[in-house]
Structure 1
């Protein structure tokens, strides 16, 4: 484990303009196994700090990271993904395979079975009718759902009994266990056509150990114990969890180090030093790093099209020389070592985690080479230090999610790096709902109304869904189309590789396609990775029984059900 750099945020800002590249680090209880240490007791309310309040908590209908809080307390998947990428049965009775006869020889039909005795938090039975209804919602014309990619390949289904459903796909789906990450309760809806204001989208009913009691916008979300939790031998120990909405991450981290919060959802790598300083000063906090697991990559999204007009190159970023110059002009090592205390790694791969993931080498920091590229491509340096070509200034709007002090500093590092090679950037940061919102709501990624954007993404156990983000078919076709595009980039060769990855059952051929896509993506540079964060967790030492062996660490119902405060009583 690396030695933690104990310099404060203020000193880091004075020494260098630093960026807040996000770590896959959530301030949450971890590593202590259920039942470890003092005997757990029931009662008490854990307090979580959140900075990016989502518009809704139903993950199937939201692209905001805050909505995944529901997966920590309320919503349970059929299959839980471990931090190794392996999937294990959760609501499912068993894992379907060809060996046990639950996957057909041609790979087209999968039999899903669910455990008996599962109930929703309102006491109604959970059955395969709910799975069928979930499929129907994803197939409804004009649906508001943003389902996992595998739903689009479902040709038909047949409910055999309350615990069994056969799902037939149009083509083999190697990631078929990715279905039913969220199941919708059929009895809570009038039909598969769901209105935007339906209460289940904002406050979903689930099968998890907690349920939503009250949501006061701008203040808090209160989760309480689910008295109908279906696991008789594993009942939630806490009375509840209160999620407090904070104005920004700086406030949340400060509150955490002072003991005001037990957990923080979504710390950044730049905050690790501050948490470490608190630990060194005696704060009741523990840190746990998992060097074997790569965390999220911080990406620079380059708009390859002009204002959402696919096929019309962006006047600046449409030039490959500009994209390569940006890549060579960013001092990643400086960010890692001078800003983030050496935590993190560098990677040039689109797919860097899970199946087929690899950490390939980035191009070296070489501003002189970047300048030479631009000179040779006809981008002439003006008297104001900004390059022009054919009357077009190399001037770009640069945006990331507002409210993150460290990331904003990081952004300024990149701004200065690009200025040094003659590319001007203007910072205009926005809330996450503006960045990731639908086109109808003015979402920037959805409308293509951006130049440079920065956020973290791509950490998934299987590459299919992540790679499809950059497929031509996933680019919004019009102002009323759902979804968004990180790069507004279209490449037929890439599309063909994605088709292989999403349909090929032979793992060797799939992996070859993933690696080929990584090479193509690195060469074309529709987006540029800044760095890969480590996976680490921090938590209040008062909180016991929290595990971090799921893909989302402690943010999983298999963890939160065990949370307790040692010594508390009912």
Structure 2
């Protein structure tokens, strides 16, 4: 339960995004297995179990040259790229949109499949399979007209029936990570028309449809995730589970042929990714703020702006006040310290977000004030300036008095709570510990506790938890704020805020909904903002960092959502080698 289930949305990508590319020294393409065989036979892959210093360039240079893939213009510049991603980026169920491919925790364009619509770099909508679409005045019926010239990679035509099959299957599949629960039914009255009826107005459906890949009804089965057939820009050439994925340009694709013919994605740990770049084995290697200074020769450090936010949920109700049921699970709810609004507001005004970015992220990030900073639906009223004096005054006025040990008390209750974070994540640990230090200066004791999510989930409604969120869709606000939202860990319930959220989703034109999203955050008197209910304290937005080989030009990036992975290659077909 990290990123929201809906896709991206928002502002222009940061100018930090791309570095200046230098002259490129061409790398030959390698065998399908040669690349990972090199990493395993060398020691970049073995860094999962050994230290970085144990790897040598001599072993890392054992790649076998097999073929040159020329660019589509006939030049001899290479048309293959090798990209590293986190092990968690590998889709556990394969390349199946019915489960999580494209629309799971780490939202991205599905590449192998086409979508009805997609988004520009400013996250405005544009057509993909659709040639036009409209919504009824009551917001309950969406009608799409689709292209009549699209075929799947097996040569069979794509029709509206395939679109309806995809949407209905996801809407009725309990294991689907794409949220299409608002869909009543999708129908195909003819081969080029799709009619989607909803059980409630929900214009943010468009953001989800922008990442839901359309699958062929005739070819879908239990093995689809391992052997996908699609109509997208690429086809699956090979998948070595736990190691790599190789994508190849789809010769039957209806759009412009990709600049990059083959995309090799290698899944590896962060230190192995660095070693692979240092050995010159990869073209793009993900990294983090803690390793960014170790920039390998021949690579630029590319900094992609994101809405990959880190924030802490703050339970708003007293302990034992209610229970939340999720399936067959029943959770205790409430916290007697954070249920005091003065505590939550003081935390929001007392935390120094700039210092967190500087100390924990080495400057590779930005202060976070909401789950959707920079998006057109984000309210400026969520942004607050660090004001320790105001924070202390709020606590004083609420009766939280400093004790002899420097921790405040009220009616015998210490201002103390446990803060959970995902163990093994150095950024979350660093943020949690630095946050705890800052809170101590306010007289609030924060006991930091790292654990697996399996161990964290029983505490998600009773204790503050440091989460990672962020998507390019306003539904992130809905999920975290609506009274019955599946991510409402604070258990904040407001009929007024719910009303704004319902109004936002009922707007026929998405652009007309933005003001309602903002009012749910703060309408001048109430909302979830720091000066209001303060249901969360947002800390930082994490920049996504990559080492990019000199001479490789990345196309302009959309703001990256939560997850350091596939979002980078949304437009890999538009990348190019310079020179």
Secondary structure of 2:439's match?
Answer: helix
Give the superposition deviation at 1:562: 4.0
CA–CA separation in structure 2 for the residues paired with 1:44 and 1:314? 53
* Candidates 409, 415, 427, aligned match of 2:436: 415
Contact 2:135/2:508 (CA < 8 Å) preserved in 1? no
CA–CA separation in structure 1 for the residues paired with 2:196 and 2:323? 37
Aligned to 1:207: 231
Aligned length: 494
CA–CA separation in structure 2 for the residues paired with 1:186 and 1:395? 55
* Candidates 115, 131, 143, aligned match of 1:77: 115
Aligned to 1:561: 573
CA–CA separation in structure 1 for the residues paired with 2:577 and 2:171? 44
Aligned to 1:50: 86
Contact 1:72/1:557 (CA < 8 Å) preserved in 2? no
Give the superposition deviation at 1:530: 1.5
Aligned to 2:169: 137
**What is the TM-score when the length of structure 1 is the normalising length?**
0.72
CA–CA separation in structure 2 for the residues paired with 1:176 and 1:65? 12
Aligned to 1:275: 292
Aligned to 1:309: 323
1:109 correspondence with 2:138? no
Secondary structure of 1:498's match?
Answer: helix
Change (3 A) 1:44 1:456: same
CA–CA separation in structure 1 for the residues paired with 2:143 and 2:196? 6
The higher-RCO structure (CA 8 Å, 6+ apart) is: 1
Secondary structure of 1:71's match?
Answer: coil
The farther-off stretch of 514-523 and 107-116 is 107-116
Change (3 A) 1:354 1:334: closer
Change (3 A) 1:529 1:397: same
List per-residue Cα deviations over 1:86-132 (Å, max 9, x = no partner).
1111232x232xxxxx4445554322133334344455443222221
Structure 1 residues 136-285: aligned runs within 5 Å: 136-140=168-172, 143-148=174-179, 151-180=180-209, 181-182=211-212, 183-189=214-220, 199-200=223-224, 205-208=229-232, 209-211=234-236, 213-216=238-241, 219-225=242-248, 227=250, 229-231=252-254, 233-235=256-258, 237-246=260-269, 249=270, 251-253=272-274, 255-256=276-277, 259-264=280-285, 267-268=287-288, 270-271=289-290, 274-275=291-292, 278=295, 282-285=297-300
**What is the TM-score when the length of structure 2 is the normalising length?**
0.71
Change (3 A) 1:465 1:372: closer
**Structure 2, unaligned runs of 5 or more:** 1-12, 22-70, 325-331
CA–CA separation in structure 2 for the residues paired with 1:203 and 1:392? 58
Give the superposition deviation at 1:427: 2.8
Aligned to 2:497: 494
List per-residue Cα deviations over 1:254-289 (Å, max 9, x = no partner).
654664443245x55x35xx536627xx43225366
Give the superposition deviation at 1:338: 4.7
List per-residue Cα deviations over 1:438-462 (Å, max 9, x = no partner).
xxxx4745873562222342342x4
**Structure 1, unaligned runs of 5 or more:** 1-23, 97-101, 191-197, 435-441, 476-483
Secondary structure of 1:514's match?
Answer: helix
Secondary structure of 2:342's match?
Answer: helix
Secondary structure of 2:514's match?
Answer: helix
Give the superposition deviation at 1:199: 4.8
Contact 1:154/1:167 (CA < 8 Å) preserved in 2? yes
More helix by percentage:
1
Structure 1 residues 149-548: aligned runs within 5 Å: 151-180=180-209, 181-182=211-212, 183-189=214-220, 199-200=223-224, 205-208=229-232, 209-211=234-236, 213-216=238-241, 219-225=242-248, 227=250, 229-231=252-254, 233-235=256-258, 237-246=260-269, 249=270, 251-253=272-274, 255-256=276-277, 259-264=280-285, 267-268=287-288, 270-271=289-290, 274-275=291-292, 278=295, 282-287=297-302, 295-304=307-316, 306=319, 309-310=323-324, 313-340=334-361, 342=363, 344-346=365-367, 348-349=369-370, 351-360=372-381, 362-390=383-411, 392-431=413-452, 434=453, 442=454, 444-445=456-457, 448=460, 451-460=463-472, 462-475=473-486, 484-505=487-508, 510-519=513-522, 520-522=527-529, 523-532=532-541, 538-542=546-550, 544=552, 546-548=554-556
